[in-house]
Structure 1
Amino acid sequence: MTLGARRTVNPVARLLTAGVIAVALVLSVDWVSALTALVLEIPLLVLLGVRLRSFLIRGGLITVAAGLTALTNLLYGEVSGTVHWHFLLINVSDGSIELALAMFLRVLAIALPSVFLFLDVQATELADGLGQIFRLPSRFVVGALAGMRLVGLLREDWRYLGYARRARGVADHARVRRALGQAFALLVFALRRGSKLATAMEARGFGAYSDRTWARPSRFGAPECTLVFAGVAIAAASIAVSIGYGAWEFIGA
């Protein structure tokens, strides 16, 4: 599956793949299943055509986040086995080290496919898939899509508010108070724009009929089935290897 194929794969298939892997990894708190899934995900990302530069940049950020999560578990995890270091509330033991390793690998294994599968997903394509394939209510899907399209305008509104305040000479001091006032003004702008959008959608008959037509058909074919099958295979392999190794620890146990 090349880069061009990745761009044409239905976003719903990507969502299913990332969800299957994530669900399998949150069922247990062991490092074997996470490591197995991580090792199998790398070839999948290569086949999907993820560029090396993008992988290094975003993968580096994910690694930093996973490292911070592991550090918290290392210092404040449940004490078991030999205690290697103790200081106030900090206890570094065999159990906390193993837990930190498991959490580090688990965050990587869950975040990597979740991030790279959605690099080039368009919000409109995802909404079409959710409405036509998952059969979610159109009021929810299209309403959420309309809201997401307005998110970019908030950044522009924030910048224009800053320009206007500087022009009036009220942005040269009291940065905290200025930021709070500007945030409140941005909230007012967002509410006004949201009410105008709701009025416009209602005037065009949005939500008047239960059966909605879609301008762009959303298809689920062989590429989507292949991607979902790969996700299921990764999830099943991680669980099987963990159980076979004897490291499986079901979270409900």
Structure 2
Amino acid sequence: MGGFGPVARPDAPLARRNPVAKLAAALVFSIVLIATLDPVAPAIAIAVELAVLPLFGVHPRVLLRRAWPLLLSAAGIVVTLVLFAADRSGRVLVEAGPVVVTSGVLLTALGLVLRVFAVALPGVIVFATTDPTDLADALVQNAKAPARFAIGALAAFRLVPLLGHEWQMIAMARRARGVDAGRNPVARLRLFASTGFALLVGAIRRGTRLAVAMDARGFDAGTPRTVARRQRFGPADAALVAGATALALAAITASVLLGTFRPLIS
């Protein structure tokens, strides 16, 4: 079972930064890229993210293992636009009955796919280099988040790996009772939906028990809480946030300039 804890080298320069600083840098870097549909800005952003990956101490193989669901999202975006895009401008590349693939459709799909990767990869890198307990401590100390929210988020984050284990247990229990879809795709889909519903019910029950247990231990008390581990926000952490902001603005500026000079170049 793979967890969601840090998998980076702890001695990497940017992996040692404050969790709130890393989270703020990722949010700033991602939110700025949402403002453009041009593929240039997210392409530059992805190049920057891959370039600073060694500074976070994350191996590319680890990043690929954690970010592979993005590939499914990219495939879904391309298929959806190819089938249902309203704008079919540009040169026709493929025409097969009702399916018409144009250069405009592919350019739009490329921009959306690159933007999905550019927005999601910073979050993947942050959580791959941050201990959940350190993140909760930093949210309370540096971001002044409510302790109940931070500790509740930490508890939920710790329970996420159990979902995969429970899915396997439910599937094995049903197989032991003779419930198997075989090669029937409809039966497979029905079994998948019922397993997901059983997993959802179990997760809600566990969350309810956890909430009651936390309230019973005083997590909902209004008294100030003490801090066991100090999370300091220093000049290097502020420089990380400022650098992420500058890089995101530089990517947007390059996209705007390229869009301005593109008619002159063509």
Do they fold alike, i.e. is TM over 0.5? yes
* Cα pair distance change 1:194/1:82, threshold 3 Å: closer
Question: Identity, % of aligned pairs?
Answer: 39
How far apart in 2 are the matches of 1:62 and 1:165? Answer: 30
Structure 1: 5+ residue stretches without partners: 249-253
How far apart in 2 are the matches of 1:179 and 1:85? Answer: 35
How far apart in 1 are the matches of 2:79 and 2:60? Answer: 27
How far apart in 2 are the matches of 1:68 and 1:185? Answer: 26
How far apart in 1 are the matches of 2:78 and 2:196? Answer: 34
How far apart in 1 are the matches of 2:200 and 2:74? Answer: 33
CA contact (8 A) 1:127 1:145 kept: yes
Structure 2: 5+ residue stretches without partners: 1-8, 182-186, 262-266
Q: Which amino acid counterpart does residue 171 of structure 1 have in structure 2?
A: R
How far apart in 2 are the matches of 1:159 and 1:56? Answer: 23
CA contact (8 A) 1:62 1:108 kept: yes
Residue in structure 2 matching 1:41, options 49, 73, 83? 49
How far apart in 2 are the matches of 1:31 and 1:85? Answer: 22
Q: Which amino acid counterpart does residue 136 of structure 2 have in structure 1?
A: A
**1:91 aligned residue:** 100
* Cα pair distance change 1:234/1:76, threshold 3 Å: farther
How far apart in 1 are the matches of 2:194 and 2:219? Answer: 35
* Cα pair distance change 1:52/1:203, threshold 3 Å: closer
Post-superposition offset of 1:99: 0.9
Residue in structure 2 matching 1:142, options 151, 154, 164? 151
TM-score by length of 1: 0.77
User: How do residues 1-253 of structure 1 correspond to structure 2 at under 5 angstroms?
Assistant: 4=11, 5-55=13-63, 57-58=65-66, 62-63=70-71, 65-77=73-85, 78-157=87-166, 171-174=177-180, 189-209=202-222, 211-246=224-259
Post-superposition offset of 1:180: 7.1
Post-superposition offset of 1:41: 2.4
How far apart in 2 are the matches of 1:205 and 1:105? Answer: 45
TM-score by length of 2: 0.74
CA contact (8 A) 2:32 2:248 kept: yes
What's the secondary structure of 2:15's corresponding residue?
helix
